[in-house]
Structure 1
Amino acid sequence: MLSILIPVYNYNVYPLVSELHKQCLDCGITFEILCQDDASQSSLNAFNEHVNALPNCSFVSLKENLAHRENRNSLAEQAKFDYLLFIDGDSIIIHDNYIKKYIENLHDFDVVYGGRLNPEKCPSDNQKLRWKYGRFIEDKFAENRKKQPYQSLLFNNTVIKKECFNKVKFDKDTKKYGHDDTLLSYQLSVLQVKINHIENPVEHGHIDTNLVYLNKTKESLENLILLYEEEKIDIEFVRLIQLYHFLKRIKSAFIISKIHTLFEKYLVQNLTGNNPDLVLFNWFRVGYLCSINQKN
């Protein structure tokens, strides 16, 4: 019935698998849990090997890196059952009826998304940018997610029918980090698959430092531009692309890129500091997006 797919990279996934395994047994369902480390060569894999001692569970450490998209695709190809639950290795299960709630909500839907939560308190000042953006922008209740069912879909903590996933898959030709969920969600919107949003969140366990997240943001924006230029995604699907397209049309992108260059140093100081401002973060994203256009 259910294949739980966990891509791993340099993380101890055993506590997560142990909890999922217990809940699957309590529900009395047919299941498997597949974990695949993407050639991290991490010392934590010594703990992950204990996953293989649990019935219906496996952990494999790849010798060659596939990258995160192909790691997910590879896990899906190995899955035996009709429903795939994608959950990242750093996720934390916060409800003891997590699996049961998914099982109760699978009927008549191709995709079910449970949501994600960031911890109430930020672990450290050096992680505040990612924490703030996650907690105040990305974390949404199901009622709000249903207003834009495709745009609100993230592929951590999502159940999807295998036959549905096989029609889209993660784009292996895109090499840069970011917007995997955006592209896959857009493809699902084109197919008009039936999506259900429920309250069944996992907690975001590993929060990037400010500088790491800022660099990831830049790379994800570069990838977003590629998706736009290669016409892999509709302009109307992503608000940031709508804005970028509008700025190009009124020939303002060049001016904004120059303003961004002048103030980038000060923006970075704020965003990598102890109290990053999300308004400035949005300014940074728009400015960097326009700068990419000028570089190209």
Structure 2
Amino acid sequence: MLSILIPTYNYNVYPLFLELKQQADCLGIAYEILVQDDASLSELNIENENINTNKNCFFFVNKSNLGRGKNINSLAKKAKHNWLLILDCDTFPTQNNFIKKYITTITNTDHRVIFGGIEYEKGKPKKEKLLRWVYGNKRESLSLKTRKEKPNSRALTSNLLIQKELFIKNPFDNAITKYGYEDLYFLAVLETKGIQVCHIDNPTLHLNLETSVLFLDKTKTALENLAFIADSKIINTIDSKIITTHRLLKKIMLVKSTSYIFQKLESNIRTNLLSENPSLFLFDLYKLGYYCTLKK
């Protein structure tokens, strides 16, 4: 029936594991929970090892770092059931019928990929974590209606149910080893094959907010990934404002100018993004400017 896959890195997954196990046990379904740390060498794995004391539940540790996509691919190959529920380690179900909702959905629909949504805490975090919180609430925590408008480009693999057979045939691209945009690429590939994501109201809560400094660093790494992906044949199907805007700037020969302006203003923009009132408009300009610098 269901294999729950949780890729992790330096994180205590045990509370999430216990919640998922309790919900699945109440349903009396055949299931397994597979958690895999990506060679973090974390002391938190001492508690994660307790997962192995439960029937059909396993905690693995990679010998070398694979990256998020390849780590999920590895978990999928280990899975024995026909449905895979992929969850980020730093999420948590918002409802106690989280697993039941997914089981009910696959029983009553012929969709092969289902996304439940994601939410963020409503209360503001400390200043040093504000950018990730603002971005998550405005750009990722979308209503069901809004997500359905663009099913594949507004889904994430942080809370995704997918048929194992479909995933094995369409895994994450092994060439993508860095953080960022692997979801966009993965879901775009499915879209080219006529596979549309079904959206339901079954969210997880994103718990572990990164500092704004770390989020900006990871954003740069993600944009390097996007630049790499942009050279692939599938790129025309990817719904990305950065790519669309870059194409326009390239047509009117303004990529170098945009890059130059970005490099001059980067420090000032970062000051805002690390402040108590980070602007997502400036964040978008920051991303576009850095992308143009990569592609000039």
TM range (shorter): over 0.9
Matched letter for residue 125 of structure 1: K
Residue in 2 aligned with 1:58?
58
Residue in 1 aligned with 2:278?
276
- SS of the residue 1:233 aligns to: helix
Are 1:91 and 1:202, in contact at CA under 8 Å, matched by a contact in 2? Answer: yes
Over 3 Å counting, the alpha-carbon distance change for 1:122 and 1:249 in structure 2 is: same
Could you tell me how far 1:124 is from its partner in structure 2?
1.3
Over 3 Å counting, the alpha-carbon distance change for 1:236 and 1:98 in structure 2 is: closer
1:208-223 paired onto structure 2 within 5 Å: 208-223=210-225
CA distance in 2, matches of 1:166, 1:176: 21
Runs of 4+ in structure 1 deviating by more than 3 angstroms, as ranges, are none
Q: What is the TM-score with the length of structure 2 in the denominator?
A: 0.96
How large is the RMSD of aligned CA atoms in angstroms?
A: 1.2
Residue in 2 aligned with 1:113?
115
Is residue 130 of structure 2 the alignment partner of residue 128 of structure 1?
yes
Residue in 2 aligned with 1:32?
32
Could you tell me how far 1:235 is from its partner in structure 2?
5.7
Matched letter for residue 48 of structure 1: N
1:34-80: CA deviation from partner (whole Å, max 9, x where unpaired): 01111111111111111112222111122222222211000000000
The counterpart of 2:159, out of the listed 144, 157, 160, is 157
Matched letter for residue 40 of structure 2: S
- SS of the residue 1:146 aligns to: helix
Residue in 2 aligned with 1:85?
85
Residue in 2 aligned with 1:143?
145
- SS of the residue 2:4 aligns to: strand
Residue in 1 aligned with 2:172?
170
Q: What is the TM-score with the length of structure 1 in the denominator?
A: 0.96
Could you tell me how far 1:259 is from its partner in structure 2?
1.2
CA distance in 2, matches of 1:235, 1:193: 13
Residue in 2 aligned with 1:73?
73
Are 1:228 and 1:235, in contact at CA under 8 Å, matched by a contact in 2? Answer: no
Are 1:69 and 1:172, in contact at CA under 8 Å, matched by a contact in 2? Answer: yes
Could you tell me how far 1:215 is from its partner in structure 2?
0.9
Could you tell me how far 1:123 is from its partner in structure 2?
2.6
- SS of the residue 1:234 aligns to: helix
Residue in 2 aligned with 1:47?
47
1:221-232 paired onto structure 2 within 5 Å: 221-232=223-234
Q: Which runs of 5+ in 1 are unaligned?
A: none
Q: Between the two proteins, what is the percent identity of the paired residues?
A: 40
Are 2:127 and 2:276, in contact at CA under 8 Å, matched by a contact in 1? Answer: yes
CA distance in 2, matches of 1:62, 1:147: 38
CA distance in 1, matches of 2:241, 2:283: 16
Are 1:235 and 1:242, in contact at CA under 8 Å, matched by a contact in 2? Answer: no
The counterpart of 1:204, out of the listed 203, 206, 218, is 206
